[in-house]
Structure formats: structure tokens, C-alpha cells
Structure 1
Amino acid sequence: MNETVEKPARVTAGVTFAARLAFEAVSHRFAAGQTTLDRVSLAAEPGEVLCLLGPSGSGKTTLLRIAAGIEAQTSGRVLLNDREIAGPEVFLPPEQRSIGLVFQDFALFPHLTILDNVRFGLTALSRDEAKREAMIALSRVGLERYASAYPHLLSGGEQQRVALARALAPRPAVLLMDEPFSGLDSRLKDAVRAETLSILRQSRATAIVVTHDAEEAMRMGDRIALLRGGRLVQVGTAEELYLRPADLFVAGFFSELNLFDARVAGGRAETPVGQFAAPGRKDGDAVTVAIRLPGFEVAEGGGQVEARVVSRRFLGVVELLELAVPGADEYVRARIRAGQLAAGVRDIWLNVRPADVLVFERRRESA
């Protein structure tokens, strides 16, 4: 199957246009009655990278499979540029949707060369045209020199780029990626994510990326859609979800939190680490005060609250502290700059940055 391959003289743009992919009140239930999606309405705008974020079982992959045409929704519609591609009366097969899919395990054919893997789906083109388009796609991901090689000779990151090239080769209007970096070594992830994002920008395809990693979603997504139990919890930019989370679940998904139960008095909620404004809450309301770990400033002399260091863990540029605070039922955790406290220091003082304090209706939740 090996062939002599010439690098194309010119790499053209990835797609002719970027499409809008919209889900309208999409629900999905298994035959046993289990609901995996509950009236999800969401749109990926033209040229946008939209990240679907959520814990396992939240419905992310099911929504992706419905968009690709691998799964049929129970109710609702899917539209591509306002054209219905899946609904009560319409169900276009995957090959007619102009939607590409990158699987979690890359799904490369081990017996085919890299070039043949990439041109596998270009069945509508002649052999020469398919070869040319496949080489353009490989050039876009920087792997044209491996065209005659086989998948087992490539690293995990290179295989991921081959899978991306294969999905981009037909020039889809929308590209779907299901946890594309989950199989990579943690040291490779940053570099491969950055490369992938650059390729997506160049290709101009609308992209939907599934992940359960909040930091990954923040790194890649123009917007993030957070799902829980098949429902859409909040949609927005990384800044919006981090700074203005809709509820405690959203806040806990984007940062580690210390939680304190309190009641509002005089417009403020009192906790063992201080009193904090509780906007929009009435006196007597039961609330949960959430404080992000980096929200604590520590000092060896003077501050708002006394604390004792129970344990400290060196993590490179930061240290993780466990602190005993009078009145607190559990240890308070703080993340500080490494070296900020001298070795052996036990008794310290705490101040809390108001920007890292969030107040919610009392309801303990875990991400």
C-alpha cells in the first residue's frame, strides 16, 4: 500500500464555510427508561470551539453521537445552518451531515498507512484527488513526512493528529471531538491541545469538544456548556462560569472549595474565617459560603483569623496547606505560593480575598 508521496505545493483553507450546529430541546432515553438527556437546547456558533463539560454520565458523549447521526434522539431537533438534520420526520445518515468525528481512541486502521488512513473517508473523490486532499490534511497537522508509515510507529500525540487530519480531510462544516486527549501522557497534553486548537482555528470548522476536565475546557473553549444528569446547567465563557457560577455545582467543578454553612444576618454570612457579603439573600436565609483554596492569604504575624498548620504539601510552585481554625468542623485548605511560609511555622494568620468568596443557597453538592 506504500506509495511515493509528494508534498502539495500549497495548503488550502480547511473548509469553505463554518456552520452553526443547534440542538433544540433534545432528549434521549434508553429503552429501559433511563433519561440521558433532558430537553437540551444549545448551539455551537460558526467557527466557534464549544466545549461540552461534565462528569461521567452527564450526557456529553450522547449529545455528540446524536449530532454525528450515530444515535437518534427521543425528541427534539438538530439543525445545521437552520436545516433540520435530525427530528421527528428527518434523520440524515452520518455521511450526509458534513460533520466530522474524532473518536476517543483515535480508531486508526493498523494495517493501513497514515496516508490511507486519512483518505479512507474520501470515497467521493478520485484516487488522485483523495491522495491530494489527504496530503493537504496531513500537512495541516505537520505529519506529511509520515504518510508512508503505519500507526504503530507514531507516538500517541502523533496518532491523535492523524485522527484529526482524517476528520478534517473531507472539510466538514462541524468537527466533533470526544475526549480527544484522554489517552495522552499528561506531559504531552498541553502541547497537543495547543497544536489542536491552532489547527482548528486554521481550518475554520465549528468544533464541539467533549471533556470532563474543567481546565481543558477553559484552555480550548470559546464557550463552555456544563451538563449534569442530562441537563444543561450553565453556558458561557470560562470567565463567566468561573467568576459567576450559577450554583454550587458549577463553582465546585471549576475550583476546589472550602464550604461553610451559615445564616444571613444584616446582609452578611458569618463563618469561622470571617463575615462575607451575601447579596440577594434575606436575613435568616440558610446559605453555603464557598471559598476557593487560593483565596486565603497567609502571614506569620497579624491578620483576620488565627490558624494552625496541620499539614503542608509541596507541589512545585505552590504548597497545599491544611489548617485548623477555631470554630471550623473540618480542616481549612489553602493553596499558597511555595516558600511563602518559613519551614516549621505552625501558628499563622489568615486573610480572605473577597473575590474568591461565593455565597449560595444552602445545598451541599459535589462535582
Structure 2
Amino acid sequence: MAVYVHLPWCVAKCPYCDFNSHRAPRVLPERAYVDALLADWRFTATAEDRPITSVFIGGGTPSLFSAAAIGEILAALDAGPGLAADCEITLEANPGTTEYGRFVDLAAVGINRVSLGIQSFDTACLSRLGRIHGRAEALTAIDAVRSAGIDQLNCDLMFGLPGQDLAGGLADIDTLLAIDPGHISYYQLTLEPGTPFARHPPDRPDEDTIIDLYEAAAERLDAAGYTQYEVSAWGRNHVCRHNRHYWRFGDYLAIGAGAHAKCTGLDGRIARTARQRWPAGYMHSAGTPQAVVETRFLSTDDARFEALLNGLRLREGLSRTDYESRTGLLWADLQAHLAPAIEDGLVVCDEIGVRASPRGWYLLDSILSDLA
């Protein structure tokens, strides 16, 4: 079992972001929000007895909250059903919002993995993205995580940025590889519907430049010992257990404003739920059924497609054991469903599992569109 905790506030809302994040008030309602999370957890976890193998505290900008608040949340999770002895506990942090000595305090309350939203080391690019940090703050944040003794570090890096050329994009990769964080999430800037960037698109590199940049960056990552184990994830000294659990179609509980969960009931039905997205409404209703504003039970077709949507993101794909145990569906039926993609050489589906072929790996969007 995995757990996601959502802390929804940011200092400023980036123009490309479509996550459930909100500009922080002058005084953050930390106490009221933590109380809401604790009530939500008591309501959510009453029937759960599986140990928690990973926790991801995301946002928003969780590093706006004090280490004491984070520790209180983790203590509640540990009280029931309990954190596994080797539980991976990740906190997202943004370089522009962290008092760097706080990482020592975060490590003391149980944080053993940090995901830093670096995005770029080019201060001009960062400004065009609406980020509130620059190159110096990014480098300082990385040093602070390491100085705190947190040895599992992920750095997010984006490409295809406004004003970025091939040389600039590769300079970002070279800077990060020289730092060698151990895990890198490398993904292209996309213009998500409803965001300011979607309404007023910035000038970005052309498609050929983006392809050239990605291919050259991938070669450098590979040469530096980073293995691409998922579409946008590259690991050298670890993989992200929490995200891999998602991609393997595992169950997870979730608390916080707008948090989404996936759980399988004793009857085998898979439910996806969502909580109120507005922080005030969430804090008012947390701990009651009114906090859950959407419950959707997956049909057979939904379960099959969502398992593939997640599992094919992994280089290793989805094992037969995970597919059958987590969807309740027959392997033979999946093989029949995938027959056209198998015949086209895009997907491999054998007795071990299902995965994209080397050619299919670069055509995942097209494959999934055909399977929907």
C-alpha cells in the first residue's frame, strides 16, 4: 500500500502548471490544514491493514510546511496501519521556497527522499517559466539536501522551454550530470489546457530542435550510468518506489485537497476517488463523507486500459502477476485484445508480462490511443 499526501499551496502559480495548487495566503493555515489531514486519515484508513511501503508528499509546495507539521502527518500514518521499516518517504521541494537548514529537520522526522523542482539551471529560462528561483538557489538546495544526509535525491528537469536552444538544453543536462543526483525526471514542457501558457503560448523551440535535444540528452544520461526505467524517469542509484507502484497499477490511499486514490475492495471492485479540490472546502469537510466528491468504479474495459496506460510507461512493462492480481482479469483475454499491436511488432505479451517493444516504446501515445 502507498499513500499520497497533498499540500496545495505555492508562493506563486507557475503559468504551465495544471496541478491542484493555489497561491499561498500571507499566513499559511498550517495548523488547520494538518488537523484536516489527520481527520481525513482517521476516516480513510479505518479498514486498512496493509503496511505502507511508500509515502509521497506532493503539492503545491510541501516545503512551505514546517518539519514539525510533516512529522505529525507521518506519525499519524505510522500509528495505523503503520509505515514499513524500509518505507520510502518523499517530499517535494522547490528551491525558491526552502530554508535550507530545514532539510536536517525533515530528515529527523523521517523524510528519506527529496524531489527538487529544479526545471532548469538557466536563470532566464526559469524566469520565463514563472519560477521564483534561479541557478544559485537550485545549486544551494541540492547541496542542502545532501548535507542533511538525505541520500535519495530526484531532480526534475524540463526541456523544450521558452527561449531554450539545443546548446542551452544540453548545458542543463551537463550541469545536472556533473552534480549526479542519482535520479532525474526529464520531461518536455507541455501546454496543459486551462493554463496561462495554453491561453497565450510562449515561443518554444521547433519540433526538430526538441527531438535533437532529447536524443542527445538521452545519450548523455545513458553514458553517465542513468537507466531510463520509465518514460520520464532515469535512475542511477535508485528508482522511485512510489511512482513505480502507481505504474504497476497498485492501490494507494490519498489525503489532502484534490487528492485522488485508487483502492480495490474485498469484492474485487476497483474504486477511484477524489477529494474536494479547494482548500477551504476540504478543511471544512475533511473526516466526513462530504470530503469525497467523486467515486468511480472501474469497468472491465477501464481496468484493462488503465493498467496498460500505467504499465506500458515502464521499460519492464507490467508483469502477468500484477495484471491478473490487480485487475482481476484473464491474461488470455488481454493477449486477444492486444493482438493487432502484437502483430504490428509494437507490444510484447508473453507469459512473463506485457511491455512495449523497442519500436513501440517511441509510439506509446499511438498504441494507447488505438487501445482506448
TM over 0.5: no
The structure with more strand, counted as a fraction of residues: 1
The structure with more helix, counted as a fraction of residues: 2
Q: Which has the larger radius of gyration?
A: 1
